[in-house]
Structure 1
Amino acid sequence: MSNTNIDLAHTYFQAVQNGDIAALGDLLAEDIVWHQPGANQFSGDHKGRDAVFAMLGAMMAASQGSFAIDTIHTLMGNGNLVAATLHFSGRRDDLAMAMDGVDLLRIADGKIVEMWLFSADPAAEDYFWGR
């Protein structure tokens, strides 16, 4: 089970890095719950694939198209959970953000049904995204 889930997570991150929205739509459950960390304009729980896509689109707009997951360091599986250690970054005008993070995906029936994100420097991420 874990290897299949790790493969699905790998496919998800490839789609994110390639901007493949169709593939992302196939991988995210329609009723996904996305837990975005911090105390910024994007923080909180986003429920449903449409809400997640709206948030991600707004993040791309706020970062002038620069927000990216640069590197996937490790994918680790435990049953229906996959943890990914990664590095992400973004730029906006004179502001820049770059840090490590952890994404935790819960997978059921071949879809990502829940996602928790963690940032190495929550204060810096909050500052970058703003209120």
Structure 2
Amino acid sequence: MTSTNVDIASAYFQAVQNGDMASLGELLHEEIVWHQPGANRFSGRKEGRDAVFAMLGAMMEASHGTFAIDKVHSLMGNGDLVAATIHFTGRRDDASMGMDGVDLLRVQSGKIVEMWLFSGDPAAEDAFWGN
């Protein structure tokens, strides 16, 4: 099961990197619980695929379409959990951001049901996104 869950996580990151919202929608459970880190306008717990898509859309709008996971360093599975070490970037106006992070996905029955995100520099990410 762990290798299957790693494959699902890999498909998730490919969909994110390719902007494939249809595939992303297929991978996220309708009632996903998403834990966005920090103390910025996007931080907090999001419940449901629609809430997650709304947040991601607002992040793309705020970053003028530049917010991206540009590297997935590794994927590691342990039962229904998959940890990913990543690098993400974004630009908006005169600000830019680029840092490592860890995404922790919980997968059940072929769908991502819960996601926790961790930033390498939470203060810099908060400053980038603002309130």
Same fold (TM over 0.5): yes
| Count of equivalent residues | 131
Matched, 1:113 2:113: yes
Cα distance in 1, alignment partners of residues 26 and 92 from structure 2: 30
Alpha-carbon separation, structure 1, partners of 2:90 and 2:77: 28
Identity among equivalent positions (%) equals 75
SS of residue in 2 equivalent to 1:98: strand
Residue ranges of structure 1 left out of the alignment (5+ in a row):
none
Residue equivalent to 1:27: 27
TM-score (norm 2): 1.00
Whether 1:68 aligns to 2:68 is yes
Q: Which runs of 5+ in 2 are unaligned?
A: none
TM-score (norm 1): 1.00
Aligned to 2:101: 101
**How far did residue 116 of structure 1 move?**
0.1
C-alpha RMSD of the superposition: 0.3
Q: Distance in 1 between matches of 2:102 and 2:7?
A: 17
Amino acid across the alignment from 1:106:
R
What letter is aligned with 1:120? G
The residue aligned with 1:77 is: 77
Report the AA paired with residue 82 of structure 2: V
- Separation in structure 2 between the aligned mates of residue 111 and residue 81 of structure 1, nearest angstrom: 12
Q: In the TM superposition, what is the alpha-carbon distance from 1:124 to its structure 2 partner?
A: 0.1
Amino acid at match of 1:90: G
Q: Determine helix, strand or coil for the equivalent of 1:58.
A: helix
User: Match of 1:25, SS?
Assistant: helix
The runs of at least 4 aligned residues of structure 1 exceeding 3 Å deviation read none
